[in-house]
Amino acid sequence: MTDIVDELKWRGLIALSTDEDALRKAFTDGPVTFYCGFDPTAPSLHLGNLVQILTMRRIQQAGHRPLGLVGGATGLIGDPKPTAERTLNAPETVAQWVERLRAQIEPLLDFEGPNAAVMVNNLDWTQGLSAIEFLRDIGKHFRVNKMIAKEAVSRRLNSEAGISYTEFSYQILQGMDFLELYRRYGCTLQTGGSDQWGNLTSGTDLIHRVEPDAVVHALGTPLITKADGTKFGKTESGTVWLDPEMTTPYAFYQFWVNADDRDVAKFLRIFSFRSREEIEELERQTEERPQARAAQRALAEELTTLVHGADQTAAVIAASKALFGQGELADLDGRTLAAALSEVPHIQVAELGPVVDLFAEVGLVASKSAARRTVKEGGAYVNNVKVAAEDAVPAAEELLDGRWLVLRRGKKNLAAVEVTGA
């Protein structure tokens, strides 16, 4: 076992702890059984959730045992949002999402060996519980004055939306999860985001009331911010999901490649499993040669491989190179090509027209006359082939995967044309 507290601190992954010294001793005396919960309030996890999963992975690699909880019960309720009441999803939908989230978490943890991970579902200990039992056995240990002091609850209480009893009760359910896992597995640590601190400490408080001699801990990771002020895990097209149908592996890869130089050192420490020496070397390269984007590419390759697999990563890298003339576009499979081109400006046309018309229509140039100048100056490319004539019209056999043209102006300005009537 390694000193995981020092490791997490170096990586900037400790924002809050119930007692850091006591937690360090528990890890030293370990192994520690710990858990992190994920609610199925959407059909996929996202990058914010990935922070938690990879933190679990780090702690497991340090010799401790993770319990991955997917909340089949808490997902039916949902934790209080800052601004408004959640829309409750149908039980059948939540059950489907539970399985989808499990399938995303499981490949990132180790289920073999002495500290093998275990997946759990809080519906197992809540679905047979009556309301009377819940209120008598669990609810009596919670004090309303402390419950309303929790940040998420107080924010809603002071808003026009208010808060329902359903969402107000969420922290009781999460507290009960920790108690059940303490009793069933000897679990003594819960991890989660610092924005969930009130819910995390509801579990430690409950255990202390019910099991006075128990020593349990909570650990909160910081919320990740971006230097440009935009929200981490968001792009112009929306949330970056782990599900490849919701965010393609190409878009996932590009998110990391496009990371701001001011953010990439922090992202490396939080997400990468490279050694300190490797990370510090990538940080140095970013400072000395930022245009090479070595840190961004290393992080993109590592995380895309971790989440989507080596084959998908190889296909994505091949597509990235081919789009800029460093590989054969014709060798790309149709799905990867379509995913890559969906990330650049693109238009649909019923039939092929002159190159200058296509360049102007897709917005690579301001006008047809500007397109002609680009061709004349040798800066216009179709499928990485330089356009030689101002009146050139692409042929149907040039279409990639039977429907795409890749247009490029100069070295870096890309766009695409999808021919729907071909």
* Predicted local distance difference test score (pLDDT) of residue 266: 96
On the 0-12 / 13-18 / 19+ scale of CB atoms within 10 A, 325 is middle
Cα–Cα distance list, 88 to 32, 94, 168, 178, 322 (Å): 35, 9, 14, 23, 45
Read off the pLDDT of residues 340-377 as tens digits, 9 standing for 90 and up: 898 889 999 998 999 999 999 999 999 999 999 999 99
Read off the pLDDT of residues 35-82 as tens digits, 9 standing for 90 and up: 999 999 999 999 999 999 999 999 999 999 999 999 999 999 888 877
The answer to whether residues 27 and 4 touch, using CB atoms and an 8 Å cutoff, is yes
* Predicted local distance difference test score (pLDDT) of residue 342: 86
Read off the pLDDT of residues 107-122 as tens digits, 9 standing for 90 and up: 999 999 999 999 999 9
* First-to-last C-alpha distance (Å) of the chain: 61
* Predicted local distance difference test score (pLDDT) of residue 152: 80
Mean pLDDT for 166-177 is 91
- The CATH 1.10.240.10 domain(s) of the chain lie at 234-330
59 or 229, which is more confident?
59
Rounded to whole angstroms, the Cα distance separating 357 from 363 reads 10
Mean pLDDT for 12-29 is 95
Residue list, annotated binding site: 35, 170, 174, 234
Residue list, annotated binding site for ATP: 234
Mean pLDDT for 235-247 is 90
Mean pLDDT for 3-8 is 94
- The CATH 3.40.50.620 domain(s) of the chain lie at 4-221
The answer to whether residues 409 and 380 touch, using CB atoms and an 8 Å cutoff, is yes
* Predicted local distance difference test score (pLDDT) of residue 2: 59
* Predicted local distance difference test score (pLDDT) of residue 372: 94
pLDDT greater than 80 at residue 407: yes
Mean pLDDT for 324-348 is 88
Read off the pLDDT of residues 181-211 as tens digits, 9 standing for 90 and up: 999 999 999 999 998 898 899 999 999 999 9
pLDDT greater than 50 at residue 1: no
CATH class (in words) of the domain with range 346-419: alpha beta
Read off the pLDDT of residues 103-161 as tens digits, 9 standing for 90 and up: 999 999 999 999 999 999 999 999 999 999 999 999 999 899 888 888 888 888 888 87
Phi-psi region of 393 (alpha: psi -120 to 50; beta: other; left: phi over 0): beta
Mean pLDDT for 264-288 is 96
Q: What is the pTM of this model?
A: 0.89
3-state secondary structure of 333: coil
Mean pLDDT for 309-320 is 93
pLDDT greater than 90 at residue 388: yes
pLDDT greater than 90 at residue 234: no
Write down the architecture of domain 4-221 according to CATH: 3-Layer(aba) Sandwich (3.40)
Rounded to whole angstroms, the Cα distance separating 283 from 262 reads 10
3-state secondary structure of 5: helix
Residue list, annotated binding site for L-tyrosine: 35, 170, 174
Q: 234-330, superfamily in CATH?
A: Tyrosyl-Transfer RNA Synthetase (1.10.240.10)
For residue 218 the two structure tokens come to 């909570």
DSSP for 147-214, written as a single string? HHHSHHHHHHHTSSS---HHHHTHHHHHHHHHHHHHHHH---EEEEEGGGHHHHHHHHHHHHHHSTT-
- The CATH 3.10.290.10 domain(s) of the chain lie at 346-419
Mean pLDDT of the chain: 92
Rounded to whole angstroms, the Cα distance separating 418 from 86 reads 39
* Predicted local distance difference test score (pLDDT) of residue 96: 97
